[in-house]
Amino acid sequence: MTEEETRRKQQARFERLAQVVVEPLHRYLLRRAGADMAEDVLSETMLVLWRRIDDVPGPGTGSDPDPEPNADPDPSPDEVLPWCYGVARGCLANARRADGRRLRLVERLIRTQQRPPTGVSDHSDLHAALGALGVLDREVVQLWAWEELAPRQIAEVTGMTSNAVSIRLHRAKKKLAAQLGRKDAEWPGHKRDEGRSSQ
């Protein structure tokens, strides 16, 4: 395969990847940063994905055992999103380290964005309970509840083991339940025992 063919294949793969991951990554970043920073970090994340397109899991990678020359496979979100969330998480951490004053502003913006709009149920107790968790516990809960990732996928994003994620998630949910005054917390859209299993 010539260099130009390789480049075309990489560009086609990147374009298919972007169609799958841009919106989830944008939502992920908006939940953790102000709109301006989210846009900047999303651009940086996509640049990293372009530079590392051969490292992104799924069909079309250099490690793909038997790629079909004319195949045009769409990446599976379950396969690529955890890896991409990990890249976005790293880009966001870099952006925050680069500007401490901006971080304080972003945290104020996050608190503002978490207030429910007029006419919507007040979730201030839940946001207060989330705010009382440690940074990593809060991140694990948000990845589980907002991004709907399984513990093994959260492990890929955070660099922890699946078992450590499951334990941390279980304990964080118990803390939240206690702070919210519930003896047995039910989480919409999730099974009661989810988070205790590493799968």
CB atoms inside a 10 Å sphere around CB 43: 11
pLDDT at 171 over 80: yes
Is residue 107 pLDDT above 60, yes or no?
Answer: yes
* CA-closest candidate to residue 26, choices 70, 79, 84: 84
Q: Are 137 and 171 in contact (CB under 8 A)?
A: yes
Lowest mean pLDDT, pick from 25-34, 121-130, 173-182: 121-130
- The pLDDT mean for the chain works out to 80
**Cα gap 85→27, rounded to integer Å:** 11
Give the list of residues 6+ apart from residue 132 with CB closer than 8 angstroms, or none.
175, 179
Read off the pLDDT of residues 10-56 as tens digits, 9 standing for 90 and up: 999 999 999 999 999 999 999 998 898 899 999 999 999 999 999 99
Average pLDDT over residues 103-115: 62
pTM for the model stands at: 0.62
Check residue 63 and give its pLDDT: 43
Q: What is the DSSP letter of 53?
A: G
The length of the chain is 199
Who wins on pLDDT, 194 or 9?
9
Secondary structure class of 123 (helix, strand, coil): coil
Distance CA 34, CA 142 (A): 16
Residue 46's SS3 state is: helix
Question: Alpha-carbon distance 164 to 196, whole Å?
Answer: 10
Rounded CA separation 118/68 (Å)? 53
| Separation of alpha carbons 169 and 142, rounded Å | 10
Residue 22 DSSP code: H
User: Quick check: 121 pLDDT over 70?
Assistant: no
Domains of the chain: 1-113 (1.10.1740), 121-199 (1.10.10.10)
**Ramachandran angles phi, psi of 93, nearest 5°:** -60, -40
d(CA 75, CA 80): 7
Regarding predicted confidence, which is higher, 43 or 122?
43
Exposed, middle or buried: residue 9 (CB in 10 Å: 0-12, 13-18, 19+)? middle
More confident residue, 150 or 194: 150
